[in-house]
Amino acid sequence: MSRALSPSRLATYATCPRLYDYRYVQDVNAPDRTELYLNQGTIYHETIEDVCDATDRDDDPEVISDRAMRVFDAKWDEHSTPEDYESTAHREYQRVENRAAIESFFDPDGGDGIEHARRSLVTECWVECEVDGRELHGKADNVIRTDDGLHVFDYKRNTRGALSSGTAERLGEHLDGEAHEPKRVRNAFQTATYVEGVKNEPFYEDGMEVRFSFYGLLNSTSFESTPDGYEVSARGYPRETTEIYDEHRDTIWALIRDAHDGITNDAFEPEPFELITEEACPDCDYREMCADRLAPEVRR
């Protein structure tokens, strides 16, 4: 029976098969990494989730906005850990920056979050699908009802470097071993999982249009000094990948098959070795213990 795999696990394999082996198969402990951005992600994800779950279709925008700011303040106090920050001032700046993102998203005067909350069908939606015998699963941040169907959203801090129409051709280069594009490949895996997975949910109806977007809450920020300190403003916007999925479906599913089959068949040799060594090794948590990386140096 096929194993159900998440886009995250598939993308780890696409980054480097040996990295997958160390992280998920051998469960090797990696060096401690800061929880700062993980905690911040929890804060804005839970804020959006709670606001969407509490909002009715006809709620006034001001009510939704006020609700969002109250929830954010509570989530910040719950999840923000002073030890993660270099100083009290650093923590305060991060609070102001993230609060500005939520304030902009749920701006009663046209903020995207107002309609995301009003039209939300389900948040933190677990979806599953199977294509060509490969099972995938994942958790969608928000599924909203549109006039033509469904729109699935994955909320992120920003979408810099994410898959776009201008970089989609690199998926094929990664498949052919001519480039190393694990981040964009991961975006493709997520798109495929959520577009296909949501079609198995009870609220999906035959013929519905299904769209998928990443939404960067802090895609644009600005800082301005004031007599009393400073002000931070933020703006978010989506990056839709639905058309990319439609246009590059064969390539994306070939990438999924390669990663899925490599994982399920325990094939963890890094290939193409030179590209992975050059692109993935420098930032890898396991680089100092990895025999694949160290062996060529020892032989010199």
pLDDT tens per residue, range 238-273: 999 999 999 999 999 999 999 999 999 999 999 999
Q: How confident is the model at residue 35 (pLDDT cuts 50, 70, 90)?
A: low
* pLDDT mean across residues, the chain: 93
Residue 28 to residue 22: CA distance in whole angstroms: 5
Do 42 and 101 lie in a common domain?
yes
Mean pLDDT, residues 99-112 taken together: 97
Q: Residue 297 corresponds to which tokens in the numbers above?
A: 């140096």
Q: What are the E-state strand segments in 14-133?
A: 120-131
For 53-62, what is each residue's pLDDT tens digit? Answer: 999 999 999 9
82 preceded by cis ω (within 30°)? no
Residue-range definition of the domain harbouring residue 201: 1-27+122-300
- Using the 8-state DSSP alphabet, how is residue 43 labeled? H
> What per-residue confidence (pLDDT) applies to 40?
87
- Which of 72, 94, 118 is a domain's end point? 118
> What per-residue confidence (pLDDT) applies to 235?
95
> What per-residue confidence (pLDDT) applies to 100?
96
Do 203 and 68 lie in a common domain?
no
Residue 223 pLDDT exceeds 50: yes
Do 45 and 176 lie in a common domain?
no
**Number of domains making up the chain:** 2
3-state helix, strand, coil in the chain (%, to 5): 50, 20, 30
The residues near 91 (Cβ < 8 Å, ≥ 6 apart) are: 80, 82, 84, 85
Mean pLDDT, residues 154-177 taken together: 96
> What per-residue confidence (pLDDT) applies to 226?
83
| In 198-299, alpha helices (H) | 242-247, 249-264, 273-279, 291-299
Minimum mean pLDDT range among 12-26, 79-93, 162-176: 79-93
> What per-residue confidence (pLDDT) applies to 289?
87
Do 61 and 145 lie in a common domain?
no
- Which of 96, 118, 140 is a domain's end point? 118
| Residue at token pair 């993308």 | 11
Q: How confident is the model at residue 300 (pLDDT cuts 50, 70, 90)?
A: very low
